[in-house]
């Protein structure tokens, strides 16, 4: 009769399975935000209704050269067709998520997100 190989203790196998399933559960849950923007059918030139917002590292939002609050931006967004967002590299993504949530609540046709190199 041949000797059986020692494949490991059952507790070792159970420990490895626990680690495996913990890693898989972290991959399956993504922190994404579903954004559904309505399509717009107008005859206007899409370049006429554009605003560009810049999110700075400290969380402040610039419209042109002026700092704006989220409440004032919420009033501007419904009148635009496209919102362009520029994010500075070291900005906390929570500030970006807050602005994206605001855009989702408004009826904006489209938006773009760009990471600034500055």
The answer to the question of residue 25 being in a domain is no
Q: Token pair for residue 37?
A: 């923007």
* 74 within domain boundaries: yes
Residue 22 lies in a domain: no
Low-confidence ranges of the chain (pLDDT < 70): 1-8, 26-33, 37-48, 109, 118
Domain that holds residue 92: 50-115
Task: Give me the pLDDT at residue 13, please.
Answer: 87
User: What is the DSSP annotation of 55-105?
Assistant: E-TTS-EEETTEEE-HHHHHHHGGG-SEEEEEE-TT--HHHHHHHHHHHHH
At 2 the pLDDT is 62
Number of domains, the chain? 1
- The answer to whether position 70 is within a domain reads yes
Write down the pLDDT at residue 39: 63
């Amino acid at each position: 009769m041949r000797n059986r190989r020692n494949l490991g203790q059952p507790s070792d196998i159970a420990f490895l399975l626990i680690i495996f399933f913990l890693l898989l559960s972290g991959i399956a849950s993504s922190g994404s935000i579903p954004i559904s923007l309505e399509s717009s059918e107008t005859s206007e030139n899409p370049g006429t209704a554009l605003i560009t917002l810049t999110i700075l590292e400290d969380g402040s939002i610039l419209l042109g050269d002026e700092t704006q609050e989220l409440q004032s931006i919420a009033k501007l967004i419904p009148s635009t067709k496209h919102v362009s967002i520029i994010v500075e590299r070291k900005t906390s993504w929570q500030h970006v998520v807050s602005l994206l949530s605001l855009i989702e609540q408004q009826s904006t046709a489209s938006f773009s997100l760009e990471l600034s190199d500055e």
